[in-house]
Amino acid sequence: MIAYFDCFSGISGDMTLGALLDLGVPLEWLKKTIASIPIDGFDIAVSSTYRSGIRGNLVEVLADNRQKERTFSVIRSIIEKSPLTDNVKSTSTAIFEKIAIVEAKIHGCDPQEVHFHELGGIDAMVDIIGTVLCLEYLGIKQVIASNIPLGKGFVSCQHGKLPIPAPATLAILKDVPVYGTQIDHELVTPTGAAIIVTLSQSFGPLPEMMIKQIGYGAGQRDLSSRPNLLRVITGEQKTPMINGRENLQIDTVWIVETCIDDMNPEVFGFVMDRLFEDGVLDVYWIPIYMKKNRPGTMVQILCHTERREAIVRRILSETTSLGIRYYEAQRQTLVRDELNINSSFGTIPVKRVRDPLGNIRLVPEYEVCKRIALERDMPLRVVYDTIIKEAAKQLPLGA
């Protein structure tokens, strides 16, 4: 399932939460799940409102006066100790970290000690964690967003008046396609910017897709020039058809790369393991010749948008690289699904892959085959051949 964030009036945490709740996430489930973190002393109020005649969900986070400022390190600890899934924990922490890093740079302090008073503390936790929970509940696997509009003027905060876009918002939106408007209003908040930059795998027009649902989240103010709404469209991405079949899947990935000619070769294997732990799609070591005819290695990594910053930090902290390049790339992949088949080795996971001509290939999982080969002292190729033959008898392989 894909979600397209149509940010024609910007984005904030409450607008995001409103749109996702409008897509069918149960409010009581969300409250109960967030309360298990545990954080308390809050409530989420959702009401219907209209912006230029379009109905949307208006979300307000109500907190009692027991709430206090929380630093990023405290928030991260709360999330890590919570019963949430690993995906919700890592993604929520990445969103908070993005805000903390830019706020620390702006105000000249340690990111771990950044206080979330400006973002309402409890508001930010509910908006950010709630958004990630909603996406998981809806089964969203890919997020794409429109280019981001920015307002103008000034906004009042604890530090006084700041220009719009706020410095933190502008810093978070670095390398993201934006455009200016003549609207004297903060269209994008730091929380909204961090959410969409962390979650979105690419920015641009609505992709080819089969639309399933549309949700609207309302901003707090009513704008005269446009409806102050965030629209989230969910559906299945359209794939190329060959002989009446959907054979290719299209998505956007980031290529992160650097060239190294002065590092102990033993480090490369360790770094590769850490990169896969960080959630990369693939890692390549490419032999090259660099300046002064020095032999070196090009490190090239494929990842989704939400993992890019973690990958950059990993390379710059664990290798001798002095800099990183990254750029978006489109890719097409064969349609595949994973099945469990009964074999003489027990139940084995097998990928079923269809090529552009409609032919089927069965691909056993390498790690499973390796384990069987070692346990039974068998050649790896024999394990592969046995599983494929037994799977072919159970699964339909016709075009």
Q: What is the pLDDT of residues 88-116, one digit of tens each?
A: 998 999 999 898 888 888 766 666 665 55
CATH 3.30.70.1380-classified regions of the chain = 248-334
Residue matched to tokens 């206080």: 115
- Which of 312 and 157 is assigned the larger pLDDT? 312
Q: Is the pLDDT of residue 243 over 70?
A: no
Local confidence band at 330 (pLDDT 50, 70, 90 cut-offs): confident
Residue 228: pLDDT band (50, 70, 90) is very high
- Residue 107 is predicted with a pLDDT of 63
3-state secondary structure the chain: CEEEEECECEECHHHHHHHHHHCCCCHHHHHHHHHCCCCCCEEEEEEEEEECCEEEEEEEEEECCCCCCCEHHHHHHHHHCCCCCHHHHHHHHHHHHHHHHHHHHHHCCCHHHCECCCCCCHHHHHHHHHHHHHHHHHCCCEEEECCEEECCCEEEECCEEEECCCHHHHHHCCCCCEEECCCCCCCECHHHHHHHHHHCCEECCCCCEEEEEEEEEECCCCCCCCCCEEEEEEEEECCCEECCEECEEEEEEEEEEEEECCCCCHHHHHHHHHHHHCCCCEEEEEEEECHHHCEEEEEEEEECHHHHHHHHHHHHHHCCCCCCEEEEEEEEEECEEEEEEEECCEEEEEEEEECCCCCEEEEECHHHHHHHHHHHCCCHHHHHHHHHHHHHHHCCCCC
Q: How many CA atoms lie within 13 A of 88 on its CB side?
A: 24
How much is the average pLDDT of 262-274? 94
Is 248-334 a domain of CATH 3.30.70.1380?
yes
pTM of the predicted model as reported, rounded to 2 decimal places = 0.64
> What's the pLDDT at 116?
57
pLDDT at 396: 58
Buried b (16+ CB within 10 A) or exposed e, 57-89: bbbebebeeebeebbbebbbeebeebebeeebb
**pLDDT tier at 244, thresholds 50, 70, 90:** very low
Mean pLDDT, rounded, of the chain: 87
* Res 209: pLDDT: 84
Percent of the chain with pLDDT over 70: 90
Is the per-residue pLDDT at 117 higher than 70? no
393 pLDDT tier (thresholds 50, 70, 90)? confident
Q: In this model, does residue 303 exceed pLDDT 80? A: yes
**Predicted local distance difference test score (pLDDT) of residue 111:** 63
Q: Quick: pLDDT tens for 132-179.
A: 999 999 999 889 999 999 999 887 766 678 898 888 899 999 889 999
